[in-house]
Structure formats: structure tokens, C-alpha cells
């Protein structure tokens, strides 16, 4: 990459404060920026580095008023944090080249329909009657079971496993070794103490613009479908059980576990290691803080919950103050 401040300001709809011909070829954190690099300043606690960084270009909020000399050329934008995300995506898109490729050691069933400019790496298997949208990239060692539908401009990284009959939308990213469509954990206890497996005949439906992290598993439904809504972002090492429904634009950090038939609303935030029992409903806009354990319905939209069992933030903080004080008493 090589961009001038003027070019970047045009892309980001910002204004240049300094040399419009300042040039960058890479990105860096503000505390370690060097000449030829671009940094951004969005968090006030990093302001000290604004005056010490040697970066050539610095993205800042348009209302930022420096208290000392700033060496880099500044590009003022509405929101520097959002702008850096937009810029990284722009640079990534510039690097992409959609082209047709079929690895010589891949296996593609004759009945599979593959769109234009689809990349298929070596040792990848695409089963019968699959439908793959144009400009999708399927890297090495991917397994796609028969009858699976995958949309346009998806990325399947090495080791992804997709069971037969799954449905995946457009612009979906599946990171290495994630598994889509494995059987849910359903077993019926028998009189002799053994367990009888419940067959799972449903599917997983993943919407558009979804990203699923490495080693995450999403189980197929017993009947009907496990549903991941549009714009959902799931981190690494998460477990989504059978028949779960996750609403649009919900995000989930690493090591979350969602038990079967739970319904999570839109625009929710699940921090790391959240656990949710089965057959509960989580309202839209709920924030569940790290390591919280949800054992019942959350009906109020926009609520923030802490703890295990998870309770409202204000109640948790009051309770914490009491049991912390009790622990300090002699």
C-alpha cells in the first residue's frame, strides 16, 4: 500500500491538517509510529503519544484540539476509530483479486455449481449439488458437504468443515477449523442407565455479512434450523448449540457457550466466557458481561447484566459492595 494524506482524506471524507503529500506505506500503533506509517488517535488516554509519535499521518477526530506541537500530518474525520476500521477494509479490498482457480488436488462433484471467479484450494472437497456464489474464496483442506449453499464473496479459511445441507449467505467469513452443522448434544436417558442419541436432521442458516471465528462450532437443529442473523460476529472457540437463534448484529467474544433452543435478540453484546442455559430468551440490545451465567429470560431491552447467576448491573454492584465488605470484616 502507498497513499498520500490527500488520497486518504478523500476516501474517509475527512480534511487534511498539514502536508497533503505526506505518504504512508503501513500502519502502526500510535505509541510506536515511525516515518512512513499511519496511526490513529481515538482514546483520550493515549493523547501523550500524539506529541511524541514519529508517524507521517495521524487520524484524529475533527474536534481534536492539540495542546502541543504535532509532527504528523493530521486527517480530521468524524470518528477516528470508525475511520481506521473503514480504512483497513479499504486497503484489504484493494489487495483482493478475484480469479478462478481450481486446485489440482481438490475434489469438486460434477453436480456442484460453482460461480464465476471462485478460488478452490488443494485438498478441498465440494460435494454433490452444492451451490457456490461468485468471487468466493475456499482455501485448502475445506470440506463442504453435499447440498450446501454458499453465497457471494465469502471466505472459507483452511480446515473449515461444513456438514451437508447448510445455508450460508453473502460476504460470510469462516475462520480456520470452524465447524458448521455438527449434531447437537441431544440424548435420551434409558431405563438401563444408557443414553440414546437423538438424530439431528435440521440445518444451520447463516445470514449475510457474518464472521465466525476459528474453532467455533455451530450445531444443526434437530428439526428446522439453527439461525445466525445478518451481521452477527462470533469470536474464536464459541459453542452454539442446536436450534439456537441469534438476532442481527449481535456480537459474541471468545469462549461463549449457548445451550440449545435459546433465542438471542438483535444488537446484543456477549463478552468473553458468557454461558447461557437452554430454552431462554434474551431481549434486543442486552449486554452480558464477561463470565456471566444466564439462567433465565432477560425481557428488558438494553439491560446490562453481571455475575453468575446474571443480574442487573446496578443490583450486582450493590451486592458486590456488600459481600466484599463482609469479607473484610474480622
Does 288 reside within a domain?
no
Contact status, residue 170 vs residue 206, Cβ threshold 8 Å: no
Q: Identify whether residues 157 and 225 lie together within a single domain.
A: yes
- Tell me the C-alpha distance between 227 and 181, whole Å: 11
pLDDT at 91: 86
- What domain count does the chain have? 2
3-state secondary structure of 326: helix
- 225 and 112 within one domain: yes
Is 280 a member of any domain?
A: no
In-domain check, residue 173: yes
Domain boundary among 236, 261, 286: 261
Q: Is residue 305 part of a domain?
A: no
pLDDT at position 327: 63
The end-to-end CA distance of the chain, in Å, is: 63
Look at residue 317 in the predicted model and tell me its pLDDT: 85
Same domain? For 157 and 194 the reply is: yes
Q: What are the cell numbers at 154?
A: 465469502
3-state secondary structure 131-188: EECCCCEECCCCEECCCCEECCCCEECCCCEECCCCEECCCCEECCCCEEEECCCCEE
From 101, 107, 242, 279, the catalytic residue:
242
Does residue 48 contact residue 63 with C-beta atoms inside 8 Å? Answer: no
Domain for residue 302, yes or no?
Answer: no
> Which CATH number covers residue 10?
3.40.1390.10
243 and 204 in a common domain: yes
183 and 109 within one domain: yes
Please name the residues in contact with 176: beta carbons below 8 A apart, sequence gap of 6 or more.
157, 158, 159, 160, 214, 215
| Side-chain half-sphere exposure of 27, counting CA atoms within 13 A | 12
- Specify the 3-state DSSP secondary structure of 263: strand
Active site residue 279: no
- Is 188 found in the same domain as 51? no
Residues 118 and 197 in one domain: yes
Last residue of a domain, one of 203, 228, 261: 261
Q: What pLDDT is recorded for position 318? A: 85
**Residue ranges making up the domain that contains 129:** 101-261
Instruction: Order the strands of the 119-120 sheet from edge to edge.
Output: 101-102, 119-120, 137-138, 155-156, 173-174, 211-212, 233-234, 251-252, 269-270, 287-288, 304-306, 311-312
Q: Is residue 119 helix, strand or coil?
A: strand
Q: Is residue 270 part of a domain?
A: no
Question: Does a structural domain hold residue 324?
Answer: no
Residues 209 and 82 in one domain: no
Query: Is 77 found in the same domain as 108?
Result: no
Give yes or no: residues 21 and 147 share one domain.
no
The verdict on 198 and 133 lying in the same domain is yes
Instruction: Please check whether residue 322 lies inside any domain of the structure.
Output: no
Last residue of a domain, one of 217, 233, 261: 261
166: domain CATH number is 2.160.10.10
84 lies in the same domain as 53: yes
How confident is the prediction along the chain (330 residues), in pLDDT tens digits per residue?
799 999 999 999 999 999 999 999 999 999 999 999 999 999 999 999 999 999 999 999 999 999 999 999 999 999 999 999 999 988 887 777 778 889 889 999 999 999 999 999 999 999 999 999 999 999 999 999 999 999 999 999 999 999 999 999 999 999 999 999 999 999 999 999 999 999 999 999 999 999 999 999 999 999 999 999 999 999 999 999 999 999 999 999 999 999 999 999 999 999 999 999 999 999 999 999 999 999 999 999 999 999 999 999 888 888 888 877 776 765
Amino acid at each position: 500500500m502507498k497513499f498520500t494524506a490527500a488520497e486518504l482524506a478523500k476516501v474517509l471524507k475527512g480534511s487534511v491538517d498539514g502536508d497533503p503529500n505526506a505518504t504512508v506505506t503501513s500502519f502502526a500503533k500510535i505509541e510506536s509510529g515511525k516515518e512512513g506509517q499511519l496511526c490513529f488517535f481515538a482514546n483520550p488516554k493515549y493523547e501523550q503519544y500524539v506529541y511524541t509519535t514519529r508517524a507521517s499521518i495521524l487520524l484524529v477526530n475533527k474536534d481534536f484540539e492539540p495542546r502541543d506541537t504535532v509532527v504528523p500530518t493530521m486527517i480530521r474525520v468524524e470518528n477516528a476509530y470508525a475511520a481506521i476500521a473503514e480504512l483497513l477494509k479499504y486497503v484489504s479490498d484493494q489487495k483482493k483479486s478475484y480469479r478462478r482457480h481450481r486446485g489440482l488436488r481438490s475434489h469438486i462433484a460434477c453436480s456442484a455449481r460453482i460461480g464465476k471467479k471462485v478460488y478452490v484450494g488443494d485438498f478441498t472437497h465440494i460435494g454433490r449439488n452444492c451451490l457456490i456464489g461468485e468471487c468466493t474464496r475456499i482455501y485448502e483442506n475445506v470440506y463442504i458437504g453435499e447440498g450446501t449453499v454458499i453465497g457471494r464473496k465469502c471466505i472459507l479459511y483452511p480446515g473449515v468443515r461444513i456438514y451437508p445441507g447448510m445455508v450460508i449467505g453473502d460476504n460470510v467469513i469462516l475462520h480456520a477449523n470452524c465447524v458448521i452443522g455438527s449434531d447437537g448434544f441431544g440424548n435420551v436417558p434409558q431405563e438401563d442407565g444408557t443414553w440414546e442419541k437423538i438424530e439431528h436432521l435440521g440445518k444451520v442458516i447463516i445470514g449475510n455479512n457474518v464472521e465466525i471465528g476459528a474453532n467455533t462450532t455451530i450445531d444443526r437443529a434437530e428439526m428446522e434450523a439453527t439461525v445466525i442473523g445478518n451481521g452477527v460476529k462470533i469470536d474464536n472457540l464459541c459453542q452454539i448449540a442446536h436450534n439456537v437463534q441469534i438476532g442481527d448484529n449481535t456480537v459474541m467474544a471468545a469462549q461463549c457457550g449457548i445451550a440449545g433452543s435459546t433465542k438471542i435478540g438483535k444488537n446484543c453484546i456477549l463478552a468473553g466466557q458468557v454461558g447461557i442455559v437452554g430454552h431462554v430468551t434474551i431481549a434486543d440490545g442486552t449486554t452480558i458481561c464477561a463470565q456471566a451465567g444466564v439462567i433465565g429470560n432477560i425481557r428488558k431491552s438494553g439491560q446490562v447484566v453481571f455475575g453468575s447467576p446474571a443480574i442487573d448491573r446496578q443490583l450486582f454492584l450493590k451486592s458486590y459492595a456488600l459481600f466484599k465488605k463482609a469479607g473484610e470484616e474480622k
